[in-house]
């Protein structure tokens, strides 16, 4: 497992600041609870702070009441956060500041391409559509700007993930210039997450491996904005029997608040922490204290997804 870059291991890592950043598109399901538990345990194991941020920037996808429901579910599982919860929907001015900084540096350009034009001209690399750069040298006459993209030039980003090891992404051939201000006027997740992690002084990002391919874009933006890069640990994603990520779209069941001890036990088993059976008759606090003291994420090394029966 690679070493964490900036902080020594053990009790001295009290400057550790981790976070869980759910999108309030519905109630927590088992897969998102696993990410919450993993980031919580990593923070508590290092005597660090654990923050919660609600990623409600994508207002069209936000479901009313979901944020409150997620917070209540975390609390009922004993996952108590430090400091005030922040909401991306209230932080547009911060994203705008970073956006203007990039615009002034000449790294951004307006893009007039419609979804269809992008799909028609893009190269497909895995699940990503690589933007062809049609508007990089100016918008064609008669067209109007819809979104703003950042140039990736020849950036090749290498990430030493604490579980997944070394990943290298050539942004030009694997992603292309990417959108920071969307056609609907909203700032993109990639920009918001970078601004927020820096503003909250996050030293360690622990989240699902579905976000691993976004991380080089985030590191690139950190470099352009002169921000520190935290260390990253991408946990295996929980998949159903068909190999699909648990999500609202794949009809994953919401986590109930009625049996938090047993749900935590299952989350720890999923994370290969092998909780002792006696913990089943204890409290959420006892379960989490045991798990934080015995946290061994290296058991998940090189594991991008794991099946779960729900
Ligand atoms: N809000 C994102 C999600 O739920 C996670 C963002 C992050 O952890 O960086 O997928």
The token duo for 43 is 């923070």
- Specify whether 76 is located in the same domain as 102: no
Check whether 11 has a pLDDT greater than 50: no
Closest atom of ligand 1 to 55 CA is 1
Task: Check whether residue 174 and residue 241 sit in a common domain.
Answer: no
CA of residue 142 to ligand 1 center, whole Å: 37
Q: How far is Cα 182 from Cα 237, in angstroms, rounded to an integer?
A: 27
- Top pLDDT among 252 and 6 is at 252
The confidence score (pLDDT) of residue 243 equals: 86
The answer on 86 and 205 residing in a single domain is yes
Q: Looking at the structure, do residues 81 and 112 belong to the same domain, yes or no?
A: no
264 Cα: distance to centroid of ligand 1 (angstroms): 20
Boundary of a domain, candidates 152, 181, 210: 181
Q: Is 1 domain-assigned?
A: no
Tell whether 43 is covered by a domain.
yes
Q: What residue numbers bound the domain in which 221 lies? A: 17-90+196-307
Residue 137 forms part of a structural domain:
yes
User: Do 250 and 272 share a domain, yes or no?
Assistant: yes
Residues 202 and 85 placed together within one structural domain of the fold: yes
Residue 172 lies in a domain: yes
Nearest atom, ligand 1, residue 19 CA: 8
**35 in Cβ contact with 29 (< 8 Å):** no
Residue 245 or 204, more confident: 204
**Checking DSSP bridges between strand 178-181 and strand 147-150, what pairing results, if any?**
antiparallel
For residues 42 and 118, membership in a common domain is answered with no
Q: What percent of the chain has pLDDT over 90?
A: 80
Q: Give the total number of structural domains in the chain.
A: 2
Cβ of 21 closer than 6 Å to ligand 1, yes or no, is: yes
Cβ of residue 204 lying under 6 Å from some atom of ligand 1: no
**pLDDT digit string (tens) for 120-162?**
777 776 667 899 888 999 998 888 889 999 999 999 999 999 9
Q: How far is the CA of 23 from the centre of ligand 1 (A)?
A: 6
Cα(185)–Cα(164) distance, integer angstroms: 34
pLDDT, tens digit (0-9, with 9 covering 90-100), for 33-81: 999 999 999 999 999 999 999 999 998 999 999 999 999 999 999 999 9
Alpha carbon of 55 to ligand 1 centroid (Å): 7
Give yes or no for residue 215 CB within 6 A of ligand 1: no
Q: Which of 217, 139, 221 is nearest to 176 (CA)?
A: 217
Q: CA geometry: angle at 293 spanning 292 and 299, to 5°?
A: 75
Q: Both 224 and 297 in a single domain?
A: yes
Residue 169 lies in a domain: yes
Asked whether residue 189 is domain-assigned, the answer is: no
Cβ 211 under 6 angstroms from ligand 1: yes
Which has the closest alpha carbon to 56: 90, 31, 83, 20?
90
Q: Find all residues with CB under 8 Å of 15, minimum gap 6, and list them.
A: 7, 48, 203
Ligand 1 near 22 CB (within 6 A):
yes
Q: What is the DSSP string of 66-92?
A: HHHHHHHHHHHTT-PPSS--EEGGG-H
Q: Which atom of ligand 1 is nearest to the CA of 207?
A: 8
**55 C-beta closer than 6 A to ligand 1:** yes
Query: Is the CB of 217 inside a 6 Å radius of any atom of ligand 1?
Result: no
> CA neighbours within 13 Å on the CB side: how many for 75?
8
Instruction: Indicate whether 24 pLDDT > 90.
Output: yes
Three-state SS at 97: helix
**Domain at 154, CATH number:** 3.90.800.10
Sequence-distant (≥ 6) Cβ neighbours of residue 228 within 8 angstroms: 198, 222
Same domain? For 202 and 73 the reply is: yes
| 3-class DSSP string for the chain | CCCCCCCCCCCCHHHCEEEECCCCCCCCEHHHHHHHHHHHHHHHHCCCEEEEEECCCCHHHCCCCHHHHHHHHHHHCCCCCCCCCEEHHHCHHHHHHHHHHHHHCCCEEEECCCHHHHHHHCEEECCEEECCCCCCCCCCCCCCCCEEEECCCCCEEEEEECCCEEEEEEHHHHCCCEEEECCCCCECHHHHHHHHHHHCCCCEEEEEHHHHHHHHHHHHHHHHHCCCCCEEEEECEEECCCCCECCCCCCCCECCCCCHHHHHHHHHHHCCCCCCHHHHHCCHHHHHHHHHHCCCHHHHCCCCEEECCC
Given 181, 206, 221, the domain boundary residue is: 181
Is residue 187 a part of any domain in this protein? no
Q: Domain with 64 in it: what CATH number?
A: 3.40.50.620
pTM above 0.85, yes or no: yes
Question: Do 293 and 215 reside in the same domain of the chain?
Answer: yes
Residues 6+ apart with CB under 8 A from 120: none
Residues 83 and 202 in one domain: yes
Q: Return the residue whose CA atom lies nearest to atom 6 of ligand 1.
A: 21
Average pLDDT over every residue of 275-288: 97
Mutate to test the pocket of ligand 1, among 43, 161, 211 (most ligand atoms within 8 A of CB): 211
Count Cβ atoms below 10 Å from residue 70 Cβ, excluding itself: 26
Residue 6 lies in a domain: no
Residue ending a domain, choose from 181, 209, 225? 181
Q: Are 200 and 55 in contact (CB under 8 A)?
A: no
Ligand 1 centroid to 209 CA: how many Å?
10
175-229: per-residue pLDDT in tens?
999 999 999 999 999 999 999 999 999 999 999 999 999 999 999 999 999 999 9
pLDDT confidence of residue 250 = 78
Q: Do both 287 and 212 map to the same domain? A: yes
The reply to whether ligand 1 has any atom less than 6 angstroms from the CB of 23 is yes
Query: Is the pLDDT score of 1 beyond 60?
Result: no
Q: Does 193 sit in the ligand 1 pocket, CB within 6 Å? A: yes
């Amino acid at each position: 497992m690679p070493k964490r870059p900036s902080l020594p291991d053990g009790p001295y890592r009290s400057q550790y600041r981790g976070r869980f950043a759910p999108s309030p598109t519905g109630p927590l399901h088992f897969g998102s609870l696993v990410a919450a538990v993993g980031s919580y345990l990593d923070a508590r194991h290092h005597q660090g702070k654990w923050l919660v941020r609600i990623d409600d920037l994508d207002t069209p996808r936000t479901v009313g009441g979901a944020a409150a429901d997620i917070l209540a579910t975390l609390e009922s599982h004993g996952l108590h956060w430090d400091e005030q919860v922040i909401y991306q929907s209230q932080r547009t001015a911060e994203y705008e500041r970073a956006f203007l900084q990039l615009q002034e540096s000449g790294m951004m350009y307006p893009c007039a391409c419609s979804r269809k034009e992008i799909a028609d001209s893009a190269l497909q690399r895995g699940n990503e559509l690589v933007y062809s750069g049609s508007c990089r040298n100016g918008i064609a006459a008669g067209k109007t700007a819809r979104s703003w993209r950042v140039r990736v030039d020849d950036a090749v980003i290498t990430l030493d993930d604490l579980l997944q090891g070394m990943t290298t992404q050539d942004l030009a051939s694997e992603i292309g210039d990417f959108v920071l201000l969307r056609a609907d006027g909203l700032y993109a997740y990639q920009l918001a997450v970078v601004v927020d992690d820096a503003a909250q002084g996050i030293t360690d990002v622990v989240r699902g491996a579905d976000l691993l391919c976004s991380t080089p874009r985030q590191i690139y933006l950190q470099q352009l904005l002169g921000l520190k890069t935290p260390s990253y640990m991408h946990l295996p994603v929980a998949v159903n029997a068909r190999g699909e990520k648990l999500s609202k779209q794949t009809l994953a069941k919401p986590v109930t608040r009625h049996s938090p001890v047993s749900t935590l036990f299952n989350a720890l088993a999923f994370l290969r922490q092998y909780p002792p059976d006696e913990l089943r008759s204890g409290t959420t606090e006892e379960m989490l204290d045991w798990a934080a003291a015995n946290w061994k994420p290296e058991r998940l090394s090189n594991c991008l997804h794991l099946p779960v029966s729900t």
